[in-house]
Amino acid sequence: MKKVTVVGSLNIDHGLKVNTLPLRGETLISNGYDMSGGGKGANQAIAIARLGIFVNMIGKVG
């Protein structure tokens, strides 16, 4: 079995949902919120795992 170790960033991605993109200087009210794991290292580790390859992830938290 193949094994891969990824060394990279671990982040939390925050996203606000709006119905339209704001115009210059416009303020919009959000109608939803998403929070998910992310970061370049984490994204690569997830992509590799989806290929069925065992992944170790090394990253700094905090």
The rounded Cα 46 to chain-centroid distance in angstroms is 10
Q: What pTM did the predictor assign?
A: 0.69
Provide the Cα torsion 53, 39, 36, 19; round to 10°: -120
- Give pLDDT, residue 1: 83
- Binned average pLDDT, 10 residues per bin, the chain of 62 residues: 94 95 96 94 96 96 72
Count, residues in the chain: 62
- Give pLDDT, residue 61: 77
* Residue ranges of domains in the chain: 3-58
CA distance 6 to 51: 14
